[in-house]
Amino acid sequence: KIPVIIDTDPGVDDVIAILLALASPELDILAFIVSFGNTDVNASYANILKVYQAISVHLEHHPDDKNRFPNFFGSNPILARGASGPLHGEIHSAHYFHGRDGLGGITERHPDLDLKISAGNPALHPQLIPTDKSGAELALELIRSHPARSITYIALGPLTNLAWALRLDAATVRERIGLVVCMGGALDVPGNTGPVAEFNFFADPYAVKEVLLPSHPDAGIPLDRFILAPLDITTPHELPFSIYKEKVDPLLETSASPSVGTCGKPPLTHFTSSFLEMTREIMLGFGKDAMELHDIVAVWCAIDNPPVADEGGDGMPTLRKGWKSLKRMFDIERTGELTRGMLVVDRRDQTAYPPGANCAEVQAELERHLLDHDALGSTALPVQV
Ligand code: BDR
Ligand code: CA
């Protein structure tokens, strides 16, 4: 099993990515570290509890579904509050897309939800171990206490927590981290937060600089252990809502026992369909009847690419199972009037910019068809068939 830390700002696609992780026996979820991002840090924290509560209620009524979530019982993740804002400057969130609660306004829209959601009471969820440590402290502690190069750090929100962990003890993080898989940035495609920036990198471009593009070669995460999943590869991975209804919703249905208080649906189906409602309305406004699977691609990539002891020495991480990597040179704009969070790609002779100086070699995974709809129906939503 791959020990993973999931750093997240849930967020509708984050939640589906988390459901994928909970349904994936390949992973051992050590921790959830939440941060500001799509919503504020407290709502992010509450949303992890909501996911656990939704699964708990579901399994209460459908105990036969237990084997669909091997990590719900098999892992005891620690839950930590991480950054409440970026390293510098003001907080930007994505309420316009994810709703004020980060989950498509699920609680206001669906007072009928029978989830007994109690955001402030982690004791409700014996599978989760709450901690008062900061996200960065917890990450560092786990990286120290697990075998060197074993942990994959899956970053699904702003990179702020990882930047803080590096500030606390860069040598340990650099030496012992197995792999970082990060959803963020837009290289050769338009942004999704204004014309040029992707949301996670827009939300804290300073953290991106420290984690991925440091001015000193001995700082940041070593690039042979960093996989970037930018919008270039995540946007083309879509889940049409028609397929959700036809293929995924029925997969979540079960005839084992009647549903309770959830509009006639099993609780988990009701939960996922409910928080996707607003996403669908917004995407229809963009002319797409589909959801983009940003964070899901990052978890999928982490499942397929466990850390390897020896990276082969070409400065690139080793990717498997049809995933391909591409070297790019870029830097990040932190303060631009119009360009905050933009990845400025250097398309000139790359030798002018040695890695670790102003630009970096990074790896962008561009195999677009791994997570096709069949794969999603069978694996990426909260069931394994
Ligand atoms: C990223 O930003 C967030 O809105 C999503 O959760 C994803 O992590 C996509 O740009
Ligand atoms: Ca996210």
Q: Complex ipTM, two decimals?
A: 0.99
356 pLDDT higher than 70: no
Q: Is 204 touching ligand 1 by the criterion CB < 6 Å?
A: no
Task: For residue 63, report the distance from its CA to the centre of ligand 2, in Å.
Answer: 30
Please enumerate, as own/partner, the contacts of 371-375 that have beta carbons within 8 Å and a separation of 24 or more.
Answer: 371/237, 371/293, 371/296, 371/297, 371/300, 373/239, 373/240, 373/243, 373/247
pLDDT at position 241, please?
82
Phi, psi (rounded to 5 degrees) for 226: -130, 120
Alpha carbons 194 and 186: distance in angstroms, whole number? 11
Directed axis angle between helix 41-61 and helix 267-285, to 10°? 140
User: What mean pLDDT, rounded, does the chain reach?
Assistant: 81
For residue 224, what pLDDT band results from cuts at 50, 70 and 90?
confident
Q: CA-based Rg of the chain, rounded to a whole angstrom?
A: 20
Q: Is 279 touching ligand 1 by the criterion CB < 6 Å?
A: no
Q: Is 198 touching ligand 1 by the criterion CB < 6 Å?
A: yes
**Per-residue pLDDT tens for 127-152?**
899 999 999 999 999 999 999 999 99
According to DSSP, the residues that pair with 27 across neighbouring strands are 2
Which is more confidently placed, 372 or 1? Answer: 1
pLDDT at position 371, please?
38
pLDDT at position 248, please?
63
pLDDT at position 266, please?
67
Most confidently predicted of 50-59, 117-126, 203-212, 314-323? 203-212
**pTM (whole model) above 0.80:** yes
Q: Provide mean pLDDT across the span 156-171.
A: 98
Amino acid at position 100, single letter = R
Task: For residue 259, report the distance from its CA to the centre of ligand 2, in Å.
Answer: 30
| First-last CA distance in the chain | 19
- List CB contacts of 44: < 8 A, sequence separation 6 or more: 8, 9, 10, 11, 34, 35, 36, 37, 38, 102, 157
Q: CA–CA distance from 123 to each of 130, 131, 283 (Å)? A: 8, 12, 36
Whether the Cβ atoms of residue 136 and residue 82 lie closer than 8 Å to each other? yes
Q: CA–CA distance from 218 to each of 98, 165, 172, 223, 253 (Å)? A: 37, 15, 12, 11, 51
Instruction: Name the residue of 199, 204, 300 whose CB sits within 8 Å of the most ligand 1 atoms, as the mutation to test its pocket.
Output: 199
Task: For residue 14, report the distance from its CA to the centre of ligand 2, in Å.
Answer: 5
Per 3-state DSSP, what percentage of the chain is helix, strand, and coil (rounded to 5)? 40, 15, 45
Q: CA–CA distance from 308 to each of 87, 149, 326 (Å)? A: 31, 8, 18
Alpha carbons 34 and 128: distance in angstroms, whole number? 13
Lowest mean pLDDT among 42-51, 66-75, 224-233: 66-75
For residue 237, what pLDDT band results from cuts at 50, 70 and 90?
confident
Considering only CA atoms, which residue is closest to atom 2 of ligand 1?
A: 199
Q: Counting ligands in written order, which one lies closest to the CA of residue 99?
A: 1
Alpha carbons 124 and 52: distance in angstroms, whole number? 9
pLDDT at position 311, please?
56
111 alpha carbon, distance to own chain's centre: 27
Pairing of β 290-292 and β 238-240 = antiparallel
For residue 377, what pLDDT band results from cuts at 50, 70 and 90?
very low
pLDDT at position 257, please?
40
Q: Counting ligands in written order, which one lies closest to the CA of residue 201?
A: 1
Q: Is 137 touching ligand 1 by the criterion CB < 6 Å?
A: no
pLDDT at position 73, please?
85
Q: CA–CA distance from 48 to each of 12, 53, 128, 153 (Å)? A: 11, 9, 9, 17
Cis check for the bond before 11: say yes or no (omega within 30 of 0): yes
**Per-residue pLDDT tens for 26-45?**
899 999 999 999 999 999 99
For residue 261, what pLDDT band results from cuts at 50, 70 and 90?
very low
Instruction: Name the residue of 181, 200, 276, 278 whose CB sits within 8 Å of the most ligand 1 atoms, as the mutation to test its pocket.
Output: 200
Q: Is 11 touching ligand 1 by the criterion CB < 6 Å?
A: yes
**Per-residue pLDDT tens for 57-90?**
888 878 887 887 888 887 899 999 999 999 999 9
Q: Is 294 touching ligand 1 by the criterion CB < 6 Å?
A: yes
Alpha carbons 380 and 17: distance in angstroms, whole number? 7
If we measure between CA atoms, which residue out of 116, 113, 368, 111 comes closest to residue 232? 368
239 pLDDT higher than 90: no
Q: Is 371 touching ligand 1 by the criterion CB < 6 Å?
A: no
